[in-house]
Structure 1
Amino acid sequence: MYDLATRKHALRLLGGGRSLNSVSKETGISRAAIRSWRVRIEPLPRLNQSQPCTSPTDRAAYSYLLGLYLGDGCISSHPKGGHYLRIACADAWPGLIEECRAAILAVRPADKVYVLQRQGCVNVTSYGRHWPCLFPQHGPGKKHERRIVLEGWQQEIVDAHPWEFLRGLIHSDGCRVTNWTVRNGKRYEYPRYFFTNKSDDIRKLCTDTLAKVGVRWTVLARGSDPLNVSIARKDCVALMDAHIGPKY
């Protein structure tokens, strides 16, 4: 095992324009090890085994994180035990990345969170034992190819914190845009929200929750597929702005 300072030194040499071969020869570190550090240089967090599988510590944060997970999240197992929760967040929204980190820490304060850079995005990642318990929608294959149903305790949390859930969905697979049209030679602009997801079940979770908070919505098809949930009525957009707002 190499300490963090050694890892960072090798990456600094690479960043200065040195080749992988030359850095390996100078430091005596294998090329495979240096190559792996380009993805992650921090040591793997130790698995927290001190806490049993319990309900979320912060239910509002969990509702938000559930929305993020259903949109852009996944869970994978580690060969030595434990699981990774990964939420993909675009580089364009640094505020979203920080909110995601904060939500994970609020839900599981004893588990560590780190950020892995990918091309055009980051994976906000946490390593722990209980992520499959907290997100029982985890399973093999893509979400839109399997049934997605909330457990009773999850639905209770969403019912108590609907706006946090919707905010997570919009922050993952949604957006706020400005549309325009021309009437009588004059240009009119108006904002609207979209939520786009291939899963019929996840879209229904979104629209059911929108209905509960008094937001009216329509479905816009992409080709023959009704993948887009649209919120365009002025009063409903104002309500969404008050509770969600654009990404940042």
Structure 2
Amino acid sequence: MRQRALTLLRSGAKNAAVARTLNIPVGTISSWKHEDRAKRGECPGRCNRPLCPRCDGRRLDEAAYAYLLGLYLGDGYISHPRQHRVPSLRITLDDAWPGVQKEAITAVRTVFPDNTASWARKAGCRDVKVYSKHLRCLFPQHGPGKKHERPIVLEQWQQEIVDAHPWSFIRGLIHSDGSRIVNWTEKTIGGRMKRYEYPRYFFTNTSDDIARLYTDTLDRVGVAWRSRRRATGAHDVSVARKASVVLMDAHVGPKH
């Protein structure tokens, strides 16, 4: 039956037509076609140039990677290999920030130029996703369980990229688990009530290690911060000093 399906597919028949003809689920037909093309070296995206910066030495856009690393540490996860033949990276992003969604998929396509990045719609948000056998090469922090339940430590080559592109990394973290808000207060001056507004940045994450990566990078670029732990165990990192907010506005800015 499989050989009959492959013969029809190689002759140009569509997956759905073969599935109807042989009364086989279209997903099975699609899987057979993919495996057959892989054996013959015809899979889309296959080429002579290296596919992985870590395994093959392909050039890596480090600024885009630093941004994507921040997104991954915040709202991203990699599927377990038992769920898919090829692991997938998914980053969940709120529909309230279409500009962030656009930046995210641009970063994914830049870091994985040989793979197809796509969207998966959900209620109120979208997942930007990409399938690659080299996800663990680029994101060695992947592991079983939730991120805050296991150590999150950058490898030396990752730390060097973050050191070279700290603002891209900070931007990715803010776009995933951060926000820019405007607080206000009122004061009586000369008998008149005046309203004062002052912006500040927040970053919230339950992982001690991810919060530390964020604050260490803030230290590196000269941004002052304060942190408190919620009753839930999450870290709230606040940037409120005027000079530091000005720096953050210049390199990060409000979500959009």
Same fold, judged at TM 0.5 (above): yes
The code of the aligned residue for 2:108 comes to: I
Match of 1:162 among 166, 174, 185: 166
- Higher deviation after alignment, 77-86 or 193-202: 77-86
Matched, 1:229 2:243: no
The change in CA–CA distance for 1:49 and 1:136 in structure 2 (over 3 A counts) is: farther
Q: 1:29-178 to 2 correspondence within 5 Å? A: 50=47, 51-55=50-54, 57-76=60-79, 77=81, 81-178=85-182
- 2:203 maps to which residue? 195
CA distance in 1, matches of 2:156, 2:44: 28
Gaps of 5+ in 2: 1-14, 27-33, 35-42
The change in CA–CA distance for 1:165 and 1:186 in structure 2 (over 3 A counts) is: same
Question: C-alpha offsets along residues 41-98 of structure 1, whole Å, 9 cap, x if unaligned?
Answer: xx9xx67565443246201100000000000000013656321010111011111111
* Secondary structure class of the residue paired with 1:2: helix
Aligned residue pairs total 211
What do you get for the CA RMSD once the two structures are aligned? 2.4
Once the two structures are aligned, what percentage of the paired residues are identical? Answer: 55
- 1:36 maps to which residue? none
CA distance in 2, matches of 1:115, 1:177: 28
Gaps of 5+ in 1: 4-26, 34-42
The code of the aligned residue for 2:78 comes to: I
CA shift, 1:224, in A, is 7.0
- Higher deviation after alignment, 184-193 or 236-245: 184-193
CA contact (8 A) 2:202 2:237 kept: yes
CA distance in 2, matches of 1:91, 1:170: 16
- 1:2 maps to which residue? 16
Matched, 1:183 2:191: no
CA contact (8 A) 2:51 2:114 kept: no
Greater Cα radius of gyration, structure 1 or 2: 2
CA shift, 1:223, in A, is 3.1
The change in CA–CA distance for 1:88 and 1:47 in structure 2 (over 3 A counts) is: farther
- 2:221 maps to which residue? 213
CA contact (8 A) 1:47 1:127 kept: no
